[in-house]
Chains A and B, each alone.
Chain A
Amino acid sequence: MRNLPPERAKWMRLRMGILCGILAIGLGGFVSSAYRVQVEDGPAWRETALNQRNRRLHVEPKRGSVYDRNGASLAISVEVPSVTVDVVELLRGVEKPDLQAELIRDASVRLAAALKLDANEVQAKLTSKRRFIWLKRRIPGDEAAQIRVLGDPKAQAPGQKAIKGLSIDGEGKRYYPGRELLGPVLGFVAPDGEGKDGLELSMNEELRGHLEEMHGIRDRAGRMIFSEGATDEQALAGHDVHLAIDEGIQHVVERELDIAQRTYETKGAMLVVMDPMTGEVLSLASTPGYNPNDYGDSEVEARRDRVISDRFEPGSVMKVFTFSAALAAGSLKPTEQIYCEKGTYKLANVTIHDTHVSEWLAPTQILAKSSNIGTLKIALNLGEPGLYSAFRRFGFGEATGLPLPGEAQGVLRPKGRPWFEVETANASFGQGISVTTMQLAVAMSAIANGGKLMEPILVRKITDARGNVVREWPPHVRREAVPAHVAKMMSEMLTAVVEEGGTGVEAAMNGYRVAGKTATAQKADPATGKYSEDKYTASFVGFVPAEKPRLVVAVVLDEPMIGRYGGDLAGPLFRRVAESSLRYLGVPPSNAQPHIGQVSRTNDPADLALATLKPKKLADPPTENTMMGPPPPNTVRVPDASGLAARDAVRAVGSVGLVPEIEGTGKLVRQNPQPGSPVPKGSSVRLVFEPAS
């Protein structure tokens, strides 16, 4: 500007100075702002930025599977697709609010149609414009395919645009291929991935695997850019649990229990199949069961594992252990004769009855006829401490230690003090104490295997995802319950129970010798505190083959409405389960001819139910007859005496050559065997009378 007049040049310099000043102020404003943002608020912003990009990925490890002893899957985890949407991505490139709203409306309608959702709800979700929205979790495959089509720009009809921002992620879902099979034992897994019941709960730590936290950085579109650490899925995955359960036997057991439950209208039914030599639990079932795939639909009551959680007064089964104790202690000689007081014995102020009136009986007969009086005499001879400690040695009053939640220990001394004489007597035939089905099975296994109380094994081993064994449960003897020779002797005595004249004839089977004990225990009525007249626990616990036991089966029926006696109700169940299982396991029938060749079982309603449900599946012995058929030779049908007074009833029964056994007074309310059942001539019929109310 040297060509300008000085005055103008001066003004220009001044104006330039003013403008430079303004610019400098602007720059200064920026610098002070930068100071505030960077130096003063820097750490806070850095934190925000870190939170934005750092993603702690919770890598959900694959939950381990549960297998049966042969490797069949009982519980597995499957990947199920879930749909998420990033609305910011969906709206990318559309800036006008009205166009955005239109796009959201259009996308909502199409997504709702594909996912079978309500379009308005989808629209409400999308309108929040969040970067991560679950649209629908755990969708079936066809819906996932439709979502893929919606998101694929090449697959669109003309005029339609692909929906951006959709993604399909896999989420783990627990699946139980056997549905109801072993339901209460397996339990279920809540949506948060935690086991909530059964094995899923007790083995949760092992099954769940290591919840790995991985650090990564994600970009604007939510993609992981890189992540630290190797993702060795197998190292993170949960362990597999291998059960001792045999799926095949479990199938048989659950089918039979279901039939029994419906036939006898029981409140509940429990059944355990064990290998007495190893203590392995081959089957463990109770009704009612539930399907853990839809655990939400089931009653909490149904999810209970009643085999271990329900305790009850076992009744006569305990006589086995009373006898064992007395034999082991030497207070009972196998050849001894005991006077059974003709069926009525007064102890202190309590009168004890026997079902079968007898006088002098050998121990084997006491067992076979299930004489309470004979048993209590043996027990009192042995003494309270001896009986109590014997029961303890058989594992009663302590948890069996199965890895399942909610196991009951049972109570031997409910008052917490040694039994009085009457209590000892009661305990000897299983009243006044409580046990679980599992305890009975374990204790009976000790008789079967030569006196060793085995640790019951439900889980055989745990392996990691690569198949390496993490932990194993080899057979383990907890203690010697009784000496081997006593156990052997007991086994022999127990075979008499299922022989002719015993209470457990219904449990006998062709080709295999059965040893076992029936029980029909009165249930205490919680309302009155006394024993209920019509509520029973019918059970049968036994093993087979008696000479070389392969299976121990404990059957407990809780409050059957039809029938009452353990021999009649639980016996057939035992037989069918044991028979199927032995056949399944390929155990050859023994060469010895069955001790009972011709036992009529036509009075067993369960057979009929089974016949209609599963025709000809189980090839039943040719001796089976239907109720309507002519009675076999030397048998007669039990007459129907219901409603008759005692005298008429006795006459009616006696007239066909049967021996009546009378209980109570008044009108006949129950009789056993059931009316119409064919029974051998000369057998006794139990008649129960009650005063008319």
Chain B
Amino acid sequence: MNLRNVRRAAPVEAVKNLVSAPLEARPNEEASQRPVDLVLAATVVALIGFGVVMVYSASTVQGTTQHHDAQFFLKRQGSFAIVALALFFLTSVIDYHRLYKLTYPVLGSVGVLLVMCVAGLGHSGGGATRWLSVGPVHIQPAELAKLALVSWLSYSLSKKAEKVKTFTVGFLPHLLVAGVFVVLCMKQPDFGSAVVLLLLTFTMLFVAGAKVGYILGATIMGSGFAVLSIVSKSYRYARYLAWMDMDAHRQDLAYQPFQSVMSFGSGGTFGLGIGRGLQTLYLPEAHNDFVAAIVGEELGFVGVLALCAVFFTLVARGVRAALRAPDDYGSFLAFGISAMFGIQAVLNLSVALAILPTKGLTLPFISYGGSSLIMNALAAGVLLNVSRQGEKKAIYETPAPPEVASRRAEPEEGEGMDEPLLDAPSYEGAE
């Protein structure tokens, strides 16, 4: 992997300077020389590849019955995966600071797309209007909204810096923008995406240093709003009741989660083997929101554990990138993206195991769906770029022998061995 930040000609350089102007931290000049986080890249590629396999295994039945082609979903997901991988690597070589200037255009257009979706231009499926048709391509604005919101929050929070702690400047505007997105998602209706957007907002506000009291208050309000929306829509309430009493509703409303749990359970410890699962006959949308159930059936508890480990690694490496990012914008981006993966994964898996009631949520990188896969790959690309800029060349880390001796003599010099060494130059710049 010899990907490098591409050095551009003068006009591009000018744009770059313009884009990064408000930042106190400049992009590392040496960043292009540094390798990407190979573990992170490998994790993402592995997840995308695994997703294609699982989608194929889970979709043959539906592909055959609905499209008379067992490979129907494999072909599509395969194409999406190729596009996603290409975008993943392309994004990883573009300096994330270039996103800075794009924040509002992206946020605005995603908002427009969401409004279009709600306004009736959308394409319906499964009782919800979640897609916009652009020629043969169906895009799901809610998936775009997640990344757009994360990038905007990173921009806004890093710009406001210490003011984040205030209510009017630091808290309310973010909540309002997020609230608009959440309401638009709810209108589709897409309860799952709304929950994810809300959780992401709180997460990032919390990390940026918003007052815990505000967040708690907003959380309580948000929960109240959620309860209201569940009770107000009878079908949601019925679904909730069905989830509460799954055994009684295993034939109707709780059919899907019940079949999903059965799918997990019948996999046992080691699973039936890839392609040997038979719950796809019963589990609707097995290749989509409930793909984890098929993983559970075909690969067993061991497979589920491995999948969890891979997601854990993904998030851990993302947080590591956030910790090492050269500036707070990068940290927020990396943490927001990692949280987006982590929250979606945990929610999706919990829904699949009926720990949480059903809501439409994909398992990042694994579930079938172009919008979700491509947006997640883009986000992973940004994350990879952040990770690339966080590291320093080994030359900085190599101290002269006498200095080592002198530093050892000073015990107050930091709890970790590496961190202070790495971060020391930046602090000077900031102070």
Is the CB of B311 closer than 8 A to any CB of chain A? yes
- The residue from A12, A38, A53 contacting B267, defined by CB atoms under 8 A apart: A38
What residues on A are CB-neighbors of B203 within 8 Å?
A: 19
Measured CB to CB, the closest approach of chain B to A191, in angstroms, equals: 28
Choose the segment among B85-93, B130-138, B220-228, B320-328 that binds chain A (4+ C-beta atoms closer than 8 Å): B320-328
Q: Would you give the 0/1 interface string for A640-676, flagging 1 where the beta carbon is closer than 8 Å to chain B?
A: 0000000000000000000000000000000000000
Bound together, the chains give a CA A24 to CA B335 distance in angstroms of 15
Q: Are A23 and B342 in contact (CB under 8 A)?
A: yes
Measured CB to CB, the closest approach of chain A to B326, in angstroms, equals: 6
Measured CB to CB, the closest approach of chain B to A130, in angstroms, equals: 8
Q: Are B265 and A30 in contact (CB under 8 A)?
A: no
What residues on A are CB-neighbors of B23 within 8 Å?
A: 3
Q: Are B323 and A219 in contact (CB under 8 A)?
A: no
Is the CB of B279 closer than 8 A to any CB of chain A? yes
Q: Would you give the 0/1 interface string for A39-70, flagging 1 where the beta carbon is closer than 8 Å to chain B?
A: 10111111011101100000000000000000
Is the CB of B13 closer than 8 A to any CB of chain A? no
Bound together, the chains give a CA A30 to CA B206 distance in angstroms of 24
Interface residues of A in 112-165 (CB under 8 A from B): 129-131
Q: Which residue of B is nearest A2, CB measured?
A: B426
Is the CB of A380 closer than 8 A to any CB of chain B? no
What residues on A are CB-neighbors of B251 within 8 Å?
A: 88, 129-131
What residues on B are CB-neighbors of A218 within 8 Å?
A: 281
Q: Are B25 and A27 in contact (CB under 8 A)?
A: no
Q: Which residue of A is nearest B303, CB measured?
A: A38
Q: Are B301 and A35 in contact (CB under 8 A)?
A: yes
- The residue from A20, A27, A37, A52 contacting B319, defined by CB atoms under 8 A apart: A20
Measured CB to CB, the closest approach of chain A to B62, in angstroms, equals: 10
- The residue from A24, A48, A53 contacting B281, defined by CB atoms under 8 A apart: A53
Choose the segment among B69-77, B115-123, B345-353, B375-383 that binds chain A (4+ C-beta atoms closer than 8 Å): B345-353
Measured CB to CB, the closest approach of chain A to B57, in angstroms, equals: 16
Is the CB of B261 closer than 8 A to any CB of chain A? yes
Chain B interface main SS type: helix
Bound together, the chains give a CA A22 to CA B227 distance in angstroms of 22
Q: Are A2 and B209 in contact (CB under 8 A)?
A: no
Is the CB of B231 closer than 8 A to any CB of chain A? no
Interface residues of B in 300-343 (CB under 8 A from A): 300-301, 304-305, 308, 311-312, 315-316, 319, 322-323, 325-328, 330-331, 335, 339, 342-343
Is the CB of A628 closer than 8 A to any CB of chain B? no
- The residue from B61, B252, B262, B350 contacting A219, defined by CB atoms under 8 A apart: B61
Q: Which residue of B is nearest A5, CB measured?
A: B430
Bound together, the chains give a CA A238 to CA B380 distance in angstroms of 67
What residues on A are CB-neighbors of B281 within 8 Å?
A: 53, 217-220, 225
What residues on A are CB-neighbors of B235 within 8 Å?
A: 95-96
Q: Are A30 and B323 in contact (CB under 8 A)?
A: no
- The residue from B264, B266, B342, B427 contacting A6, defined by CB atoms under 8 A apart: B427
Q: Are A30 and B327 in contact (CB under 8 A)?
A: no
- The residue from B264, B265, B319, B430 contacting A2, defined by CB atoms under 8 A apart: B430
A31-B305, A129-B251 given as contacts; is B282 within 8 A of A15 (CB)? no
How many A residues have CB within 8 A of the partner chain? 52
What residues on A are CB-neighbors of B430 within 8 Å?
A: 2-5
Q: Which residue of A is nearest B390, CB measured?
A: A2
Interface residues of A in 187-223 (CB under 8 A from B): 217-220
Q: Would you give the 0/1 interface string for A13-37, flagging 1 where the beta carbon is closer than 8 Å to chain B?
A: 1011011100110110111011101
What residues on A are CB-neighbors of B25 within 8 Å?
A: 2-3
A3-B326, A88-B252 given as contacts; is B209 within 8 A of A39 (CB)? no
Q: Are A3 and B426 in contact (CB under 8 A)?
A: yes
A35-B301, A42-B269, A49-B262 given as contacts; is B207 within 8 A of A23 (CB)? no
What residues on A are CB-neighbors of B262 within 8 Å?
A: 45, 48-49, 52
A6-B427, A13-B323 given as contacts; is B234 within 8 A of A97 (CB)? yes
Is the CB of A420 closer than 8 A to any CB of chain B? no
Q: Are B24 and A3 in contact (CB under 8 A)?
A: yes
Q: Which residue of A is nearest B203, CB measured?
A: A19
What residues on B are CB-neighbors of A41 within 8 Å?
A: 265
Q: Are A16 and B355 in contact (CB under 8 A)?
A: no
Q: Which residue of B is nearest A1, CB measured?
A: B331
Is the CB of B83 closer than 8 A to any CB of chain A? no
Bound together, the chains give a CA A395 to CA B105 distance in angstroms of 110
What residues on A are CB-neighbors of B267 within 8 Å?
A: 38, 42
What residues on B are CB-neighbors of A617 within 8 Å?
A: none
Bound together, the chains give a CA A42 to CA B271 distance in angstroms of 10
Is the CB of B263 closer than 8 A to any CB of chain A? yes
Question: Counting chain A CB atoms within 10 Å of each CB, which of B208, B315, B325, B353 scores highest?
Answer: B353
Is the CB of B431 closer than 8 A to any CB of chain A? yes
- The residue from A20, A27, A46, A91 contacting B265, defined by CB atoms under 8 A apart: A46
Bound together, the chains give a CA A34 to CA B350 distance in angstroms of 9
Question: Counting chain A CB atoms within 10 Å of each CB, which of B24, B206, B268 scores highest?
Answer: B268
Q: Which residue of B is nearest A45, CB measured?
A: B265
Chain B contacts to A: CB under 8 angstroms = 23-25, 61, 65, 127, 162, 203, 206-209, 234-235, 238, 251-253, 255, 261-269, 278-279, 281-282, 284, 296, 300-301, 304-305, 308, 311-312, 315-316, 319, 322-323, 325-328, 330-331, 335, 339, 342-343, 345-346, 349-350, 353, 355, 423, 426-427, 429-431
- Provide a sorted-by-A list of 21 A–B residue pairs whose CB atoms are within 8 angstroms: A1-B327, A1-B328, A3-B326, A3-B327, A4-B430, A19-B203, A23-B346, A27-B308, A34-B349, A37-B296, A38-B296, A38-B301, A48-B266, A49-B263, A50-B266, A88-B255, A95-B235, A95-B238, A96-B235, A218-B281, A225-B281
- Extra contacts, 16 of them, besides A19-B339, A218-B281, A220-B284 (Cβ < 8 A), are A1-B325, A2-B325, A3-B327, A15-B207, A16-B323, A19-B207, A27-B345, A35-B301, A38-B268, A38-B304, A45-B261, A45-B264, A52-B262, A53-B278, A217-B278, A220-B282
Nearest 4 pairs of A and B residues by beta carbon: A45-B265, A2-B426, A42-B268, A3-B25
Chain A contacts to B: CB under 8 angstroms = 1-6, 8, 11-13, 15-16, 18-20, 23-24, 26-27, 29-31, 33-35, 37-39, 41-46, 48-50, 52-53, 88, 91, 95-97, 129-131, 217-220, 225
